[in-house]
Structure 1
Amino acid sequence: MISMEFLITSFIVVVLPGTGVIYTISTGLFRGTRAGVFAATGCTAGIIPSMLSCILGLAVIFHTSALAFQVLKFAGSAYLLYLAWSMWRQTGTLELTAEENRKSMFKIAFKGFLINILNPKLTIFFLAFLPQFIPVQAPMPVLNMLVLGSVFMGMTWVVFIVYALLADKARIWIANSPGKVKYVQRTFAAMFAMLGARLAFSGR
């Protein structure tokens, strides 16, 4: 049974700006709706390993092993800083050919996938979040967590798609102004850098 409390809590968690939201919005803004959809899909797919590791009990490894947690945390931080540097160095244009767009879709989705894969706190989040909504006497708790996790993923995908669509609409505002494009690119670059630094220096 999926409670209203679970749906409301999940929606709040998904809507709040995080790394995946920022990546999806920036992609939709600079690459358009199709790219934004691929970014949203990649970020959502990146939830699967964390969700499964939680359900299968592997999250306990990260929860109890400081070394495993720290290694993955710093890898995720380095990747976010790499994204920040890449965006900072972009030329300030929104133009892409159809061929370039097709070739880059998988890369966009894979970047979104890596963003969540390299975030160890996502695994810990599921470890702490899902069990709260499983009845103590549930006959099949694993199945219940799979259902709740799938609902959470579906909600994530839908919300991220909305973010991508809204970002695409905002392209009109900056499309004809290289100065605005550069400003927005560097703003997102700074956001990724701050997220990377926060992940690197945050506690467990």
Structure 2
Amino acid sequence: MLLSSWLSVAGICALGAMSPGPSLAVVMNNTVNHGRKAGILTAVGHGLGVTAYAAATALGLAVVIAQSALIFDVIRYLGAAFLLFIAYKTWVSTQQVKQQSEPSADQDKAIKTPGFISGLMIAALNPKMAIFFLALFSQFVQLDAGLGDKLILALTAGTIDTLWYLLVAWGLATPKVLNWLSLHQKKINQLFALVIALLAATIVFK
């Protein structure tokens, strides 16, 4: 694989990861409501989901999703439903932003698991990723490229996605930001809930 092709793919993946959308909203929501660990686990889960879609494209499986309107719509509607669920949980949440004190072992587990799962699910329930990677690979991957080259691109996409959302989670969870967020927790939760619900609506009606 040419270095220029790899750099082009990496740049496009970075732009795709940084574009605002449901994934960014969920990572921010988990970080604000449950702290840095939840944000980090959300980022890791989402990165694994992106890697899986990219790998599926390399193996030819994503073609099935892209060419089947039924499968595409089922995944799309499940994704919208999951976003609405997150919006509801956020709206009714009374949980405060975590301060500097360490949570108990049970609390820590309760924070980590939903964070990782929500990140993974948001990526997995986004069928547009299949189309994105099909278009991307068709432009920069040669027809005779080996499976190894394709998997390198898949890992590149997943790594870039994970690093971006790790940066988002880390930046939001600084002490000064958390202290400010804790003073406006209720309004912020309501805002996140509305934004996530609107994003779900755009998925359904787009």
TM-score normalised per structure 1: 0.88
Shift of the 2–23 alpha-carbon distance from structure 1 to 2, 3 Å rule, reads farther
Q: CA deviation at 1:139?
A: 4.2
* Residues 58 and 154, structure 2, Cα contact 8 Å, conserved in 1: no
Q: What does residue 104 of structure 2 align with?
A: 98
Q: CA deviation at 1:104?
A: 2.6
Q: 2:122 aligns with which of 112, 115, 119?
A: 115
Matched residue type, 1:58: L
Q: What does residue 32 of structure 1 align with?
A: 35
Task: Give the match's secondary structure for 2:93.
Answer: coil
Q: 2:160 aligns with which of 146, 155, 160?
A: 155
Aligned residues: 197
Task: Give the match's secondary structure for 1:46.
Answer: helix
* Residues 134 and 145, structure 1, Cα contact 8 Å, conserved in 2: yes
Shift of the 75–187 alpha-carbon distance from structure 1 to 2, 3 Å rule, reads same
Q: Which runs of 5+ in 2 are unaligned?
A: none
CA distance in 2, matches of 1:41, 1:111: 10
CA distance in 2, matches of 1:199, 1:135: 33
1:20 aligns with 2:27: no
Q: 1:146 aligns with which of 138, 151, 160?
A: 151
CA distance in 2, matches of 1:152, 1:90: 33
* Residues 30 and 171, structure 1, Cα contact 8 Å, conserved in 2: no
Q: 2:12 aligns with which of 9, 13, 17?
A: 9
Q: 1:192 aligns with which of 169, 174, 196?
A: 196
Q: 1:183 aligns with which of 170, 174, 187?
A: 187
Q: Which runs of 5+ in 1 are unaligned?
A: none
TM-score normalised per structure 2: 0.88
Matched residue type, 2:205: F
Task: Give the match's secondary structure for 2:96.
Answer: coil
CA distance in 2, matches of 1:66, 1:148: 26
CA RMSD of aligned residues (A): 1.8
- Give deviations 1:144-176, integer Å, cap 9, x for gaps: 22111111111111111110011112212122x
Matched residue type, 2:51: I
